[in-house]
């Protein structure tokens, strides 16, 4: 230890114990101060060397001067006459012009207003469901106005809800027992509804027992004022089919197809499902230059077979205001079927409640 060293013994020999401890503390204190001063001196020298510039540093040092690879893409100068620049600019401008042309050329589709009178009978479910399945395939907008007599039946409302077509369920309160065409008052109720609510679109009378193609409804939107087309009619009593409708040169109506001698006195030989017209004729007569503003309705005082022509005479003046659909009028797109379904039992609620106990064994 420190007490057994020769220097310690020498201090105890010449100095008392208290004096020797004081002397030792003084030596240690001076050694600590000396070490601290040396460290501070070398620290200041190192700091001085660190902040003193020893030459001009090249500040324009690029990453390629180091060992690491250059990850930046090379700078390319594109001039206006550069073929690459011209190709890129031409491609972008062409795409923008094409996009603007497509945007400007897109026009909203005209709304179709399909009017269907119906009444409770055995085949009603089949007829309405068949027509509803066709209408649901037509591009919107389309509204189906279904008109019943006297009151709304739950069976008809159930059919309409299940078709998925936007519809309006209308009731005709007028008695149709004294009218040969029982759909006259029902169609008039639909016309009144269109006029009162100012529905804008193409009106088409589609009876529920006829057959329609999807092409017909797509062609209706080409109608400007009044469109007409040929209809194939199946005469059940004569067991033959006849065509009734316009003869066209392109879209211009130049004559009429008819095989019925009793109907040759009609002005326009058109079936009820063989024409369509703009709904604005009903509630905006000034737009079409109509000299009178009387409501356009079907007449219940005319003979059978003249219902169509007396109605059309209120909408147009002559064939010059008609449009043949499709151009040439060479396609039959719907059929008028005369089916006798009066003897078929109408099941209430579409439920069969009788003869359900009969079981036929499987052979």
340 a known binding residue?
no
Higher pLDDT, 247 or 347: 247
Label residues 73-107 b or e (16+ Cβ within 10 Å = b).
eeeeeeeeeeeeeeeeeeeeeeeeeeeeeeeeeee
Q: Decide if 308 is catalytic.
A: yes
Fold exhibited by the domain 112-228+271-316: Spore Coat Polysaccharide Biosynthesis Protein SpsA; Chain A (3.90.550)
> Does the pLDDT of residue 202 top 90, yes or no?
yes
> Does the pLDDT of residue 6 top 80, yes or no?
no
Write down the domain spans for the chain. Answer: 112-228+271-316
What's this model's pTM, rounded to 2 decimal places? 0.68
Going by pLDDT thresholds of 50, 70 and 90, the confidence category of residue 359 is: confident
- The model's pLDDT over 205-252, given as tens digits with 9 standing for 90+, comes to 999 999 999 999 999 999 999 999 999 987 666 667 788 999 999 999
> Does the pLDDT of residue 353 top 50, yes or no?
yes
> Does the pLDDT of residue 259 top 90, yes or no?
no
- Summarize the confidence of residues 194-206 as an average pLDDT: 97
pLDDT given at position 230: 95
Higher pLDDT, 337 or 219: 219
Catalytic one among 149, 244, 308, 323?
308
Higher pLDDT, 327 or 31: 327
* SS3 labels along the chain: CCCCCHHHHHHHHHCCHHHHHHHHHHHHHHHHHHHHHHHHHHHHHHHHHHHCCCCCCCCCCCHHHCCCCCCCCCCCCCCCCCHHHHHHHHHHHHHHHHHHHHHHHCCCCCCEEEEEECCCCCCHHHHHHHHHHHHCCCCCCEEEEEEEECCCCHHHHHHHHHHCCCEEEEEECCCCCCCCCCCHHHHHHHHHHHHHHCCCCEEEECCCCCEECHHHHHHHCCCCCEEECCEEEEECCCCEEEEEEEEEECCEEEEEECCCHHHCCCCCCCCCCCEEEECHHHHCHHHHCCCCCCCCCCCCCCCCCCHHHHHHHHHCCCHHHCEECCCCCCCCCEEEECCCCCCCCCCHHHCCCCCCCCCCCCC
Query: Tokens at residue 217, please?
Result: 């409804």
> Does the pLDDT of residue 20 top 60, yes or no?
no
Going by pLDDT thresholds of 50, 70 and 90, the confidence category of residue 255 is: very high
pLDDT given at position 55: 52
pLDDT given at position 11: 45
Q: What is the mean pLDDT of the chain?
A: 79
> Does the pLDDT of residue 61 top 60, yes or no?
no
> Does the pLDDT of residue 1 top 50, yes or no?
no
Higher pLDDT, 283 or 55: 283
Higher pLDDT, 90 or 144: 144
Residue with token string 């299940």: 162
Higher pLDDT, 165 or 75: 165
> Does the pLDDT of residue 54 top 90, yes or no?
no
């Amino acid at each position: 230890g420190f007490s057994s060293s020769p220097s310690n013994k020498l201090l105890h020999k010449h100095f008392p114990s208290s004096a020797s401890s004081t002397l030792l503390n003084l030596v240690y204190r001076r050694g600590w101060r000396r070490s601290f001063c040396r460290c501070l001196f070398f620290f200041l020298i190192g700091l001085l060397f660190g902040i003193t510039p020893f030459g001009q540093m090249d500040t324009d040092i690029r990453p390629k001067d180091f060992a690491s690879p250059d990850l930046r893409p090379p700078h390319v100068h594109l001039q206006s006459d550069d073929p690459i620049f011209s190709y890129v600019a031409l491609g972008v401008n062409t795409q923008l012009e094409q996009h603007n042309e497509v945007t400007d050329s897109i026009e909203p589709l005209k709304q179709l207003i399909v009017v269907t009178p119906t009444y409770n009978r055995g085949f009603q479910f089949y007829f309405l469901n068949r027509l509803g399945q066709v209408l649901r395939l037509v591009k919107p907008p389309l509204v189906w106005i279904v008109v019943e007599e006297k009151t709304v039946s739950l069976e008809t409302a159930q059919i309409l809800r299940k078709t998925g077509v936007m519809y309006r369920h209308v009731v005709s309160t007028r008695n149709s027992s004294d009218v040969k065409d029982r759909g006259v008052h029902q169609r008039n109720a639909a016309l009144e509804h269109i006029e009162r609510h100012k529905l804008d679109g193409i009106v088409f009378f589609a009876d529920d027992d006829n057959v329609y193609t999807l092409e017909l409804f797509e062609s209706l939107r080409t109608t400007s004022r009044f469109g007409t087309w040929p209809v194939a009619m199946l005469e059940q009593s004569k067991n033959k089919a006849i065509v009734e409708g316009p003869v066209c040169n392109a879209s211009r109506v130049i004559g009429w197809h008819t095989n019925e001698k009793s109907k040759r006195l009609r002005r326009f030989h058109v079936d009820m499902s063989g024409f369509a017209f703009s709904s604005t004729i009903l509630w905006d007569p000034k737009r079409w230059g109509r000299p009178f503003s009387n409501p356009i309705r079907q007449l219940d005082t005319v003979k059978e077979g003249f219902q169509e022509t007396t109605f059309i005479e209120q909408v147009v003046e002559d064939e010059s205001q008609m449009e043949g659909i499709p151009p040439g009028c060479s396609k039959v797109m719907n059929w008028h079927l005369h089916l006798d379904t009066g003897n078929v039992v109408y099941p209430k609620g579409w439920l069969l409640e009788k003869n359900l106990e009969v079981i036929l064994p499987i052979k």
